[in-house]
Structure 1
């Protein structure tokens, strides 16, 4: 056999080997599919007889359904009367218009005058309850998929809604969590993690100093700054850095207690208790005169003993689901033991 003929035979053999490998993988796949079908049929057969087969079938039916992503006109998901996202239960008039249950009267007088008969849309309600969209703040870290008619409520209290860096000339816009890291890495503002309901001891910030607090558990970001507001006195304020307002549904509220004292001279101190304001910092630092702040007199900042004053901060998270009770002890119920009794 010539060398050329040997090459042909070798090539043919390699081709058959390659094709044979593909055939083996195809056969293996077909065999796996057949085994799955046999197992399913066996499970259904055993289910009809009870026992383990029934439990296997129930487990199979409880598996999560397949999900799909699709595009469609939003008009199909909006009420023709109020033009807002449809919220179950929905109704359909005689002309085929779908409206929110609370929009029947408006629809009858404005669109379909005289339409008095409405039917329920149970099938559409199932779709509306299951139709989810990704959070609009996905680029800032939110991975939530929310029901379409609840998306607006989610965006109003989304923890990833972007906020601004308040430092003049800084154009950074990102989530509060990323903003806290930005404060430390680009501006040198120290980060301190704290527990709600427990005092946190810090140095009194100077006029150019900023302190960043991050709550344990929920990661809420707070910014502490000071300003010269009343003559030579220093005004220390605390603000929660977040885009959602304090009244947004689902947004937690916070109450804080700030006080400054000199170690060894606890008879002289300045103290204030207030609700914590929120800001997306789009207008920079919140001026002290526009919110609650702690006025620290110069006597505390320059104590005769030479001891440095200490700023203590206690933040309590308000649990709205529990009727406005704090998740920790109320700051007015049992003050820190270091406070003199005359303040009780």
Structure 2
């Protein structure tokens, strides 16, 4: 009987989200923990949203939801894009969607619970089974923050950081305490009250 059970193939638990694999019963748990079709979640709404990354973009950018993000911005890998992010945090989020494979990268600026004066900036990749990084593409982001012209010479004209992009299956749970960069107040443009961020995302081969 054990042999018959092991030989029995069952559909992936994420079949409704696009996985067409049938796997051995004894391998189902392992497959499910690494399946690229695992859904993403939004717990800010009632009932909680559960769906593919593509449907999550539609959910977050629908004006009727309370946590509405601005319309998604199409980008290409290895291409630099300038984003003017509001210091007031009223317009501080962008959903970046790559044209090559529709990967989703929320760009967010927030506040620190521990340090009220901090304005951390973070970029993450939205994908199901975010904790599983084996056999998955590795993304890196080059973030450049440019100072207003009046401060050139007084501090660095720009600051550039290159970081590996972490994964997240729940965009609302991004930990801003562990964000990449806290911008200097002098980086804010007086007239617009915005910070100029230049973002470039690259994609490399899988880990193994």
TM-score (norm 2): 0.76
- Structure 1 residues 251 and 270 mapped into 2: Cα distance closer, same or farther (>3 Å)? same
Distance in 2 separating the partners of 1:158 and 1:211: 27
Q: How many residues align?
A: 195
Distance in 2 separating the partners of 1:302 and 1:263: 6
Is contact 1:157-1:251 (8 Å) kept? no
Displacement of 1:192 in angstroms is: 1.0
Distance in 2 separating the partners of 1:197 and 1:246: 25
Higher relative contact order (CA 8 A, sep 6+): 2
Question: What secondary structure does 1:310 align onto?
Answer: strand
Distance in 1 separating the partners of 2:30 and 2:200: 30
Give the corresponding residue for 2:134: 249
- Structure 1 residues 226 and 306 mapped into 2: Cα distance closer, same or farther (>3 Å)? closer
Give the corresponding residue for 1:285: 173
Give the corresponding residue for 1:220: 103
Equivalences for residues 73-84 of structure 1 within 5 A: 76-78=4-6
Question: Deviations for 1:103-128, whole angstroms, at most 9, x for unmatched residues?
Answer: xxxxxxxxxxxxxxxxxxxxxxxxx6
Displacement of 1:217 in angstroms is: 2.0
Find 2:164's aligned residue among 275, 296, 302. 275
Give the corresponding residue for 2:186: 299
Distance in 1 separating the partners of 2:122 and 2:60: 17
Give the corresponding residue for 1:315: 201
Matched, 1:189 2:67: no
Displacement of 1:298 in angstroms is: 1.4
Distance in 1 separating the partners of 2:69 and 2:192: 27
Is contact 2:12-2:23 (8 Å) kept? no
In structure 1, runs of 5+ residues without a counterpart are 1-72, 79-127, 324-344
Displacement of 1:180 in angstroms is: 0.8
Question: What secondary structure does 1:204 align onto?
Answer: strand
Instruction: Report which of the two has the higher share of strand.
Output: 2
Matched, 1:145 2:21: yes
Distance in 2 separating the partners of 1:302 and 1:233: 17
Q: CA RMSD in A?
A: 3.1
